[in-house]
């Protein structure tokens, strides 16, 4: 695996960039801890998702136990995916990329002084707090203390812990940007700053208005939709895009295509991202203009996606280099997943389509492709790229890495296609008054059956990744022991 350094443009006088090795050393431990924890939540989330999808074909499976109900396991799996895995990995990726792109080690100087050590301790403590919040929040849902608000099921104290933990880490990412060595920020840096500012805002606001001090019921629907749209499009997606903007041109050895478009793509993404979820409320008790704005945002969201694609997928690339770079392939696949998600989202937000497929697996397919495709695939890319540089050696087992890549793509592709088709059939059957509800469930049975297979493939993929990173880190430990350190 080749180790590309992130270069620094136009260093300002007195702001000479620090060596990449010193930067990596300053963030090594926090980033590895963030990624390691994220992956173990990912494996658990995939296991729970598998159980949840088995329950769709065999409702009696583990049915007699109240805390293993579908209604508890499904939100547990989704929240672990969002906060345990995606958000935590995004923080790790964000911290590493920000330090590298800004050419500054954590804590100033060479990163090894008192400041650096204190900051690392603070960030690691905040990471522990984050994981404690995820663990306790998950257990609270398990025990039946969910708030009942989709994607915000963690009880008040757990969500407050998450927010505090994020602020303790995020502020240093933003301060790093303030001390950057390149006065003219890179595209990836814009996305990172936006993402690190956006998460505390949307998470804090949504929790305040929905669970801490709930507003009147009619206003909760739009707020919740705004939160779901924003969490994906304004926090997780920007980090995934920052990874692609920062790493892809360097990994593939070519220049970004039509750089001027990236500004427009960035601002349109920010403008439309929050409105993106509002089309979920069509026909609901909200003023008509809100849902209509959601429909328009859902369709127009294709424009920033096309601009980003022109920037990154439009690069003239050498297929030999692409096939040799696993991180590069993960990042590219993440971008392709984003394009597909954009097309599906635009179609699904049109009122006629939405009316047919809204309450079916179709919407779930879109969400899965968002989280596991457009967001997780680029995060895998950063993980595969960063760890060898952080550890200073080739740490990945190529066989396991390759298996993880293939299994993830096959499992995800299968899951999404099945859910799209199954959702479409269910939606059309639901709209037909001559078809009884019992018949509809039997139509969707084969799809649910195959979805279990897809979830199983995903679980195996994530177990492979777990084994891979365990060997990578244990290898480091064994190597140190061997060298007598």
Partner 1 sequence: MNNDHHNQHPKQVTEETNRPLSPWLVGAFMLALIWGGLYLGFNSGGFRQDVYESNAVNWVGGGATAAAPVDPKVVGKRLYTQNCVVCHQPNGMGVAGQFPPLAGSEWVLTEGNHAENHLVMLVLNGLQGTFEVKGQQYNNAMVPWKQLSDEQIADILTYIRSDWGNNTPAISPEFVTQIRKTDAAQSDSWTQEQLLAVPPVKPNVTSGATPAMK
Binding site for partner 1 (CB under 8 A): 3-5, 7-9, 20, 255-261, 283, 285-289, 292-293, 295-296, 299-300, 302-303, 306, 310, 433-434, 436
CB closer to partner 1 out of 19 and 399: 19
CB of 242 to partner 1, least distance (A): 18
Longest dimension (CA), the chain: 76
- Rounded to 10°, the helix 261-273/302-312 angle is 150
What span, in angstroms and rounded, lies between the C-alpha atoms of 38 and 88?
A: 6
> How large is the angle between the packed helices 326-349 and 398-430, nearest 10 degrees?
10
Q: What is the dihedral of CA 302, 304, 306, 310, to 10 degrees?
A: 180
CB of 1 to partner 1, least distance (A): 14
Contact 50, 78 (CB under 8 A): no
- The nearer residue to partner 1, 4 or 280, going by C-beta atoms, is 4
Is the CB of residue 119 less than 8 Å from the CB of residue 40?
no
Shortest Å, Cβ 198 to partner 1: 23
* CB 383 to partner 1: min, Å: 21
SS3 481: helix
Radius of gyration of the chain (CA): 22
Which of residues 179 and 255 has its CB atom nearest to partner 1 in the complex? 255
> Which residue from 320, 334, 450 is spatially nearest to 383, judged by alpha carbons?
334
Q: How far is the CB of 254 from partner 1 (least distance, A)?
A: 9
For residues 179 and 259, which CB has a smaller minimum distance to partner 1 in the complex? Answer: 259
Contact between 43 and 459 under an 8 Å Cβ cutoff? The reply is yes
CA angle 30, 33, 35 (to 5 degrees): 105
308 class by beta-carbon count within 10 Å (0-12 exposed, 13-18 middle, 19+ buried): buried
458 Cβ neighbours under 8 A, 6+ residues apart: 46, 49, 50, 372, 407, 408, 411, 412, 415
Residue 83: which of 243, 227, 187 has the closest Cα? 227
Q: Compute the least distance from the CB of residue 392 to partner 1, in Å.
A: 13
Minimum distance between the CB of residue 266 and partner 1, rounded to whole angstroms?
15
Q: How far is CA 439 from the centre of its chain?
A: 36
**Between residues 209 and 306, which has the closer beta carbon with respect to partner 1?**
306
- Cβ closest to partner 1, residue 137 vs residue 427: 427
Q: How far is the CB of 336 from partner 1 (least distance, A)?
A: 19
> CB-wise, 5 or 156, nearer to partner 1?
5
Cβ proximity to partner 1: between 132 and 321 the closer is 321
**Any idea of the CA torsion for 180, 313, 279, 226, to the nearest 10 degrees?**
-10
* Residue 8 or 55 having the CB closest to partner 1: 8
């Amino acid at each position: 695996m080749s180790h590309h350094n992130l270069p620094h443009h136009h260093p300002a006088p007195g702001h000479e960039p620090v060596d990449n090795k010193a930067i990596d050393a300053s963030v090594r431990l926090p980033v590895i801890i963030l990624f390691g924890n994220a992956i173990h939540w990912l494996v658990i989330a995939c296991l729970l998702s598998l159980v949840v999808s088995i329950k769709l074909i065999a409702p009696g499976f583990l049915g007699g136990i109240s805390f293993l109900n579908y209604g508890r396991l499904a939100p547990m799996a989704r929240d672990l995916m969002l906060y345990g895995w995606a958000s935590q990995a995004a923080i790790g990726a964000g911290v590493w990329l920000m330090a590298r792109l800004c050419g500054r080690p954590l804590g100033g100087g060479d990163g090894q002084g008192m400041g650096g050590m204190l900051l690392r301790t603070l960030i690691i403590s905040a990471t522990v707090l984050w994981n404690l919040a995820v663990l306790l929040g998950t257990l609270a849902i398990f025990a039946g203390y969910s708030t009942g608000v989709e994607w915000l099921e963690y009880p008040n104290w757990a969500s407050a812990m998450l927010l505090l933990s994020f602020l303790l880490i995020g502020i240093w990412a933003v301060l790093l940007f303030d001390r950057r060595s390149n006065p003219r920020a890179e595209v990836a840096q814009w996305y990172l700053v936006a993402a690190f500012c956006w998460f505390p805002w949307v998470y804090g606001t949504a929790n305040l208005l929905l669970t801490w001090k709930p507003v009147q019921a009619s206003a909760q629907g739009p707020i919740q939709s705004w939160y779901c749209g924003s969490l994906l499009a304004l926090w997780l997606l920007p980090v995934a895009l920052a990874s692609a903007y920062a790493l892809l041109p360097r990994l593939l050895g070519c220049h970004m295509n039509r750089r001027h478009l990236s500004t427009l793509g960035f601002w349109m993404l920010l403008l439309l991202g929050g409105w993106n979820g509002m089309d979920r409320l069509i026909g609901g008790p909200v003023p008509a203009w809100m849902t209509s704005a959601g429909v328009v945002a859902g369709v127009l969201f294709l424009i920033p996606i096309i601009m980003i694609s022109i920037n990154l997928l439009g690069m003239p690339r050498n297929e030999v280099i692409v096939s040799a770079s696993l991180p590069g392939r993960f990042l590219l696949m993440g971008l392709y997943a984003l394009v597909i998600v954009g097309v599906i989202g635009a179609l699904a937000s049109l009122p006629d389509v939405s009316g047919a497929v809204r309450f079916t697996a179709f919407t779930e397919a879109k969400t899965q492709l968002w989280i596991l495709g457009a967001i997780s695939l680029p995060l895998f890319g950063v993980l595969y790229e960063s760890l060898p540089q952080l550890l200073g050696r080739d740490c990945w087992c190529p066989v396991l890495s390759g298996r993880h890549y293939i299994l993830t793509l096959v499992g995800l592709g299968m899951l999404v296609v099945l859910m799209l088709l199954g959702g479409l059939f269910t939606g059309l059957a639901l709209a037909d008054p001559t078809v009884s509800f019992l018949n509809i469930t039997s139509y969707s049975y084969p799809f649910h059956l195959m979805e279990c297979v897809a979830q199983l493939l995903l679980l195996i993929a994530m177990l492979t990744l777990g084994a891979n990173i365990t060997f990578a880190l244990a290898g480091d430990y064994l190597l140190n022991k061997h060298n007598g350190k």
